Structure 1
Amino acid sequence: MSRPATYDDLNTLCRGIKRSFIHLETRDAYGTEVELPHMAKWASGEPDDYAWLGWWLDMLQSHRAAGRTCRRARVVSEPLSTYQQWTKSHVRLFVEAGEDIRYVSRPRLVDVMLPGSGDFYVFDDETALFLHYAGNGTNASFEIAEDPQIVQACMTAFSAVWDLTKPNVEQRSE
């Protein structure tokens, strides 16, 4: 059984992990109100100070300092959409803060079964949060599931995707 959730629930779960979160992204583009102005800046060649990401990067740094892990797998089409090109242009900020972000080309997943909604998080191997999107990429709703079978299905799907990913070139900052 699942229940409706909010953006605040997502933030609370992300901030409150005890051990880890995993995040699967399956869309080529998202249209969040927060991101669109910054993507427009990038498209026109304007610099971005990324202050709008500060809270997320601070959270990632605190998780890393505490020994918690944050992993994100992005399923992408090739060539990359403009949105994915934009996210790759600043992925290093997330990686330097402590999130392991990897990419896999969509055709590599033909034999991987993914949960129907596509995008999800799993927090501490206990709670799944599904992100549902409208056709234009804006978030339509969130849904939380704590049923162990649903959580396990998400973790299995994420692991199958993760095994096919490769580290992003931008991650090799050592």
Structure 2
Amino acid sequence: MDLITPAQRDELFSSFERDAFHLELRDEYGSPTEESAYTRWQRGEPDDYAWLGSWKKLMQRVTGEGKTVRRVRVVSEPHSQYVGWEHSLTAMNIEVGEDIRWLPRHLVPEGVTYPLDGNDWWLYDDRLLAVGHFDDEGRVLGSEIVEDPAIVAECLRLRDLLWSVAIPHSEYKP
């Protein structure tokens, strides 16, 4: 399986035309970019969030062009410490135009199964998937590009279902 790097995946934001959607299914992620900020948060220390600067700039540009960037975060309750940290940062994503909803696992509709081995994925313009692959510690190994119409259609149905039942960030109180 060929994987693209996170930087190559981010380049997809320059070529999509309307909508990018991210399904997040993990309660823990291990990102070298986030590691020291997460550690500071755990200690109650302040952070300038400079490490988020390039993402915020990218999202401002994309959403400023009238494109949508949406996420559904399927989470366990009670939250892992990581999800608590992620929730505390989400206002910054919202400020730059992302639309983020939360879906506690116990509210996932009965019978839902996750395609693509339960991996997270980005769906661009209802036609292209970037499927995240992770190591045992939650570190991104890369993303697999999938354009198979049947798999994309399955992900579209799941996206629409989960989006309809997920709770907008402003209303979600962990």
Please say whether Structure 1 and Structure 2 have the same fold, judged by a TM-score greater than 0.5: yes
Structure 1 residue runs of 4 or more that deviate by more than 3 Å after TM superposition: none
Following the alignment from structure 2 to structure 1, what is the Cα–Cα distance between the partners of residues 15 and 54? 14
Q: Please identify, of 86-95 and 58-67, the stretch whose mean Cα deviation from structure 2 is larger.
A: 58-67
Following the alignment from structure 1 to structure 2, what is the Cα–Cα distance between the partners of residues 15 and 108? 34
Q: Please identify, of 18-27 and 111-120, the stretch whose mean Cα deviation from structure 2 is larger.
A: 111-120
Amino acid at match of 1:111: G
Q: CA deviation at 1:20?
A: 1.2
Q: Which residue of 2 aligns with 1:21?
A: 20
Count of aligned residue pairs for this structure pair:
170
Following the alignment from structure 2 to structure 1, what is the Cα–Cα distance between the partners of residues 124 and 15? 9
Say whether residues 1:35 and 2:34 are aligned partners: yes
Alignment of 1:1-174 (within 5 A): 3-109=2-108, 110-115=110-115, 116-169=117-170
The secondary structure found in structure 1 opposite 2:33 is coil
Choose between structure 1 and 2: higher helix proportion.
Answer: 2
Q: CA deviation at 1:3?
A: 4.5
Q: Give the unaligned 5+ runs of structure 2.
A: none
Q: Is the 8 A contact 1:117 1:131 kept in 2?
A: no
Q: Percent of aligned positions with the same letter in both sequences?
A: 37
Amino acid at match of 2:22: H
TM-score by length of structure 2 reads 0.91
Summarize deviations over 1:119-161 as a string: whole Å, max 9, x none: 0001111210100112211113320011122112111111111
Q: CA deviation at 1:164?
A: 1.3
Q: Is the 8 A contact 2:13 2:62 kept in 1?
A: no
Q: CA deviation at 1:41?
A: 0.6
The secondary structure found in structure 2 opposite 1:90 is helix
Q: Give the unaligned 5+ runs of structure 1.
A: none
Q: Is the 8 A contact 2:30 2:139 kept in 1?
A: yes
Following the alignment from structure 2 to structure 1, what is the Cα–Cα distance between the partners of residues 58 and 142? 23
TM-score by length of structure 1 reads 0.91
Q: CA deviation at 1:37?
A: 0.8
Q: Is the 8 A contact 1:75 1:106 kept in 2?
A: yes
Q: Is the 8 A contact 2:5 2:141 kept in 1?
A: no
Q: CA deviation at 1:36?
A: 1.2
Following the alignment from structure 1 to structure 2, what is the Cα–Cα distance between the partners of residues 52 and 120? 22
Summarize deviations over 1:15-37 as a string: whole Å, max 9, x none: 33211100000000101111111
